[in-house]
């Protein structure tokens, strides 16, 4: 089942979307918003699935689905807990600022509490008040969970995954060192994130296994490929482990979004991997590319995002059909 939230109001209007993303039907007669559906998933899921079947078979009064009509599946959420499961990414970004990666990072997930009071829509501009902040995109996989009890183990946590989607975790790189230096984590350096137009139940994803989403995460910057790392590769901590980490000391409420962190694959030699232009799978953020450029040339050659830049994040299935729709955002002065 594929779900979207059409723009409208603070929480959007829940819609069921066809497998090929061509059609949709509003879920209003059943439940008005995705958060409301998640709040009582056992009651609503069967009804929404029945509507999805009806949509595929032509029984529902369908209309065209346009990705630019979609808000993020949860336009606002009660929690956005973003992991950093691709330790290759962590190593690269830390190397850029001359920091070692502690050995514990390979055995204990890193996770930060993100702002969730308002997400950008998948086609909304990224507002940037000051280009000196060093705006970057971060391509990720994210899941929405149901209620997770405190102390849940990995299996219980994994069973709570309701929906999977893609994320652009916008980051202000030049604000990060000072902010992390204060010791309280990210705040100003993480403005609003965006999620893919469509969220998909795990059973509909051929690449979903072992708590990971396998498949190339296609990253583009101004129409040029930035990366195509496989989200199922080099993910040190699967979503079950990430969710259990988040729930170690407190329960998680339905509608909590848990992120994978920036997707990142090591190179064949175990090193940072090569840019797309040099035959590698590239990167899911500019920070990694800039680090690799610095290692190669002594300084980064790629600038951070500026007004007018366009970023695109998408994943396709075995037949090259878009699974979640595309996050496609222009950077705009704000």
- Footprint on this chain of a copy of itself (rule: CB under 8 A): 10, 39, 76-79, 81, 84, 102, 104-105, 108, 110-118, 127, 129, 133, 150-151, 172, 175, 180, 182-189, 191-192, 245-246, 248-253, 255-256, 334
Q: Which is nearer to a copy of itself, 134 or 202 (CB)?
A: 134
Q: Which is nearer to a copy of itself, 24 or 236 (CB)?
A: 236
The count of other CB atoms within 10 Å of the CB of residue 299 is 8
Distance separating alpha carbons of residues 148 and 243, to the nearest angstrom: 8
Q: Which is nearer to a copy of itself, 33 or 228 (CB)?
A: 33
Distance separating alpha carbons of residues 316 and 182, to the nearest angstrom: 40
CB of 127 to a copy of itself, least distance (A): 7
Q: Which is nearer to a copy of itself, 19 or 131 (CB)?
A: 131
Distance separating alpha carbons of residues 217 and 227, to the nearest angstrom: 7
Residue 35, token pair as written in the block: 């958060």
CB of 272 to a copy of itself, least distance (A): 20
Distance separating alpha carbons of residues 302 and 308, to the nearest angstrom: 15
CB of 253 to a copy of itself, least distance (A): 4
Q: Which is nearer to a copy of itself, 78 or 316 (CB)?
A: 78
CB of 160 to a copy of itself, least distance (A): 13
Q: 3-state class of 5 per DSSP?
A: strand
The count of other CB atoms within 10 Å of the CB of residue 198 is 28
DSSP conformational letter for 154: H
Q: Which is nearer to a copy of itself, 47 or 174 (CB)?
A: 174
- Which pairing describes strands 257-259 and 80-83: parallel, antiparallel, or unpaired? parallel
The count of other CB atoms within 10 Å of the CB of residue 239 is 29
Distance separating alpha carbons of residues 247 and 50, to the nearest angstrom: 32
- How far is CA 172 from each of CA 100, 138, 264, rounded to the nearest angstrom? 21, 11, 19
Distance of CA 133 to the CA centre of its chain: 22
Distance separating alpha carbons of residues 318 and 140, to the nearest angstrom: 20
Annotate 301-330 with DSSP letters as a single string: -S--B-TT-EEEEE-B-TTS-BSS--EEEE
CB of 114 to a copy of itself, least distance (A): 7
Q: Which is nearer to a copy of itself, 95 or 274 (CB)?
A: 95
Residue 270, token pair as written in the block: 């175990």
If you compute the radius of gyration of the chain from its CA atoms, what whole number of angstroms results?
A: 19
CB of 105 to a copy of itself, least distance (A): 8
CB of 81 to a copy of itself, least distance (A): 7
Q: Which is nearer to a copy of itself, 151 or 303 (CB)?
A: 151
CB of 224 to a copy of itself, least distance (A): 27
Contact 21, 198 (CB under 8 A): yes
CB of 317 to a copy of itself, least distance (A): 32
Q: Which is nearer to a copy of itself, 10 or 209 (CB)?
A: 10
């Amino acid at each position: 089942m594929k779900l979207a939230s059409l723009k409208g109001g603070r929480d959007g209007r829940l819609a069921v979307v066809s497998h090929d993303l061509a059609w949709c039907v509003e879920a209003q007669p059943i439940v008005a918003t995705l958060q409301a559906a998640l709040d009582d998933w056992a009651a609503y899921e069967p009804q929404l699935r029945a509507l999805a079947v009806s949509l595929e078979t032509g029984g529902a009064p369908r209309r065209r689905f346009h990705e630019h009509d979609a808000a993020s599946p949860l336009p606002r959420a009660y929690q956005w807990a973003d992991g950093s499961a691709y330790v290759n990414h962590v190593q690269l970004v830390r190397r850029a600022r001359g920091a070692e990666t502690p050995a514990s990072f390979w055995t204990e997930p890193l996770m930060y509490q993100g702002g969730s009071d308002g997400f950008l829509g998948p086609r909304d501009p990224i507002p940037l008040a000051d280009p000196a902040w060093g705006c970057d995109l971060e391509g990720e996989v994210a899941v929405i969970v149901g209620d997770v009890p405190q102390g849940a183990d990995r299996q219980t946590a994994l069973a709570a995954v309701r929906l999977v989607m893609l994320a652009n975790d916008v980051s202000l790189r030049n604000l990060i060192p000072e902010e992390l230096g204060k010791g309280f984590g990210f705040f100003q350096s993480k403005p609003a994130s965006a999620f893919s137009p469509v969220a998909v139940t795990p059973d509909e994803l051929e690449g979903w296994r072992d708590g990971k989403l396998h498949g190339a995460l296609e990253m583009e910057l101004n129409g040029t490929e930035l990366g195509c790392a496989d989200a199922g590769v080099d993910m040190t901590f699967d979503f079950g482990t990430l969710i259990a980490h988040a729930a170690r000391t407190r329960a998680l409420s339905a509608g909590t979004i848990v992120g994978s962190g920036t997707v990142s694959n090591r190179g064949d030699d175990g090193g940072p991997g090569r840019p797309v232009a040099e035959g590698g799978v590239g990167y899911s953020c500019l920070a990694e590319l800039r680090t690799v450029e610095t290692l190669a040339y002594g300084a980064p050659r790629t600038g951070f995002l500026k007004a007018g830049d366009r970023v695109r994040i998408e994943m396709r299935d075995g037949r090259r059909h878009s699974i979640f729709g595309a996050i496609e955002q222009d950077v705009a002065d704000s």
